Amino acid sequence: MELPYAESFKIKMVEHIHRSTKEERLQWIKEAKYNLFNLRSEQVFVDLLTDSGTGAMSDRQWSEMMLGDESYAGASSYFKLKNAIKNILGFDYFLPTHQGRAAENVLFSVLVKEGDIVPGNSHFDTTKGHIEFRKARAIDCTIDEAFDTTLKHPFKGNVDIDKLEKVLKEHNDKVPFIIVTITNNTAGGQPVSLQNLREVRAVADKYGKIVVYDSARFAENAYFIKTREEAFAQLSIKEITKEMFANADVMTMSSKKDAIVNMGGFIGMRSEKLFQEASVFNIMFEGFITYGGMSGRDMNALAQGLDEGTEFVVLQNRIEQVAYLGRKLVEYGVPVQEPFGGHAIFVDAKRFLPHLPKEEYVAQTLAIELYIEGGVRGVEIGTLLADRDPETRKDRFPKLELLRLAVPRRTYTNNHMEYVAVALGNVYARRKSITSGMKILKEAPIMRHFTVELDRI
């Protein structure tokens, strides 16, 4: 027999998790005002809220923690990280920040002003938040194929070049940069092809624009390029990573994703002028330019994480586990976004609960049902997250109403994935008995999903 695929790691330390009863969960979720962010982690059995900062660091990363240099200025840890960013990603200048949105805050303080328009592929919520906070506008130029969860397309994260050119033609002087999110989180963890990245570069050059990559899951994107884009199948992940970033002028990074650390971020830049301008804001918001909100030990673990995170087997272990969950869910009839995303499985709530009206927060309703069923915490990527239109203050109904099951890196076993699939399969079997959704009791004016209070209708 051919030997089956298996993970290339073993486990050195474990953490106990508590398995609750349905009665406990009914009480807890009510107390949490039907907002999964309000649950205590002990009230969750399998936590698929996010893959952000929830991964398990390797023994080598933990060793690097011990070698951290905590000097205020010029720490060796800063130079270790600077070298890793230069060698792996190819950027000469960088600023450390405490996480991804802080990188956005610092960078956009330089680049975005009131009235600007920032085209891209399904801007992530914090990215959009930082654009709209500055009274600028984000325009989504993702390809239409991304919005049909039944359609199999290898690069659903791609930018629609015609849509992008249209924005540039109409609003050329208002566009400070083009932003490309790799992988495209909001559209379901879908990758962007290298060909598409090159096409965006060509359009940017034609209109004299800089290109920013929102790079949280760049390594997963490289893995998909290697495995789906034939022309690059022979290149290593590290080679593809270089090729991808060769088409960008700036990158923002949430290191809590593909760099497999619990906290951290940075901005990578080619322009010394931009670096100097951004340094001012980094010092104001984050910290001195050689630590910017990170401890020396964290910068060390991050440098090591960038190296490990761009190794083929590490990515294969991760993406295969996500796909394992996806295949199990398909087996149980659950409608999911295909092809499966790199970091998460996205359940199509509109196809799961077609009888609920869109005004009743369908994906949130499904997230609550899954929690009650098995103590599994996912997250709504739908109307709650899409927030209100800043002008009309009406709910924005996104094309996709999704329940995201994000898988932390190296944290759970496939046995946990099986458990999650059965729990959601059970909800699917009783879906017709879910006859109403949720209503909002209280919400914040921006990024409401974190603190919203809800009730059953």
Ligand X SMILES: *Cc1c(COP(=O)(O)O)cnc(C)c1O
Q: Is 121 in the site for ligand X (CB under 6 A)?
A: no
216 flagged as catalytic: yes
Q: Give 85 or 427: the residue with its C-beta nearer to ligand X.
A: 85
Task: Using alpha carbons, select from 190, 203, 183, 120 the residue that is nearest to residue 152.
Answer: 190
Minimum Å gap between C-beta 183 and ligand X is 8
* Contacting residue, 55, 265, 293, 326, with ligand X by CB under 6 A: 265
- Annotated catalytic residue: which of 47, 51, 125, 160? 125
Q: Is 54 in the site for ligand X (CB under 6 A)?
A: no
130 flagged as catalytic: no
* Contacting residue, 28, 34, 124, 361, with ligand X by CB under 6 A: 124
Q: Is 158 in the site for ligand X (CB under 6 A)?
A: no
Whether 98 and 292 have beta carbons less than 8 Å apart is answered as yes
147 flagged as catalytic: no
Exposure class string for 401-435: b at 16+ Cβ within 10 A, else e? bbbbbbbbbbbbeeebbebbbebbbebbeebeebe
Q: Cα–Cα distance between 76 and 67 in angstroms, integer?
A: 9
Task: Using alpha carbons, select from 243, 221, 245, 240 the residue that is nearest to residue 155.
Answer: 221
* Contacting residue, 82, 101, 318, 448, with ligand X by CB under 6 A: 101
Whether 121 and 158 have beta carbons less than 8 Å apart is answered as yes
Q: How many residues bind ligand X (CB under 6 A)?
A: 15
449 flagged as catalytic: yes
Task: Using alpha carbons, select from 330, 327, 374, 371 the residue that is nearest to residue 352.
Answer: 330
End-to-end CA, the chain: 55
Listed in sequence order, the residues at least 6 apart from 284 whose beta carbon sits closer than 8 Å to its beta carbon are: none
Q: Is 185 in the site for ligand X (CB under 6 A)?
A: yes
Minimum Å gap between C-beta 261 and ligand X is 10
- Annotated catalytic residue: which of 102, 138, 216, 406? 216
* Contacting residue, 35, 54, 58, 99, with ligand X by CB under 6 A: 99
Q: Cβ-closest residue to ligand X?
A: 100
Stretch that binds ligand X, among 37-45, 95-103, 228-236, 394-402 (CB under 6 A): 95-103
Minimum Å gap between C-beta 26 and ligand X is 30
Stretch that binds ligand X, among 96-104, 143-151, 414-422, 424-432 (CB under 6 A): 96-104
124 flagged as catalytic: yes
Q: Is 258 in the site for ligand X (CB under 6 A)?
A: no
Task: Using alpha carbons, select from 182, 144, 138 the residue that is nearest to residue 162.
Answer: 144
Q: What tokens does 314 get? A: 């590490």
Minimum Å gap between C-beta 233 and ligand X is 25
Q: Cα–Cα distance between 26 and 46 in angstroms, integer?
A: 16
207 flagged as catalytic: no
Residues 228-257 binding ligand X (CB under 6 A) are 254, 256-257
Minimum Å gap between C-beta 100 and ligand X is 2
Q: Is 122 in the site for ligand X (CB under 6 A)?
A: no
257 flagged as catalytic: yes
Exposure class string for 71-101: b at 16+ Cβ within 10 A, else e? eeeebebbebbbebbeebbbbebbbbbbbbb
From residue 149, give the alpha-carbon distance in Å to each of 157, 173, 267, 352: 12, 35, 32, 12
Q: Cα–Cα distance between 421 and 337 in angstroms, integer?
A: 15
Q: Is 100 in the site for ligand X (CB under 6 A)?
A: yes
Q: Is 181 in the site for ligand X (CB under 6 A)?
A: yes
**Partner residues linked to 453 by β-bridges:** 442
Residues carrying an active site annotation: 72, 124-125, 214, 216, 257, 449
Footprint on this chain of ligand X (rule: CB under 6 A)? 52, 99-101, 124, 126-127, 181, 185, 214, 216, 254, 256-257, 265
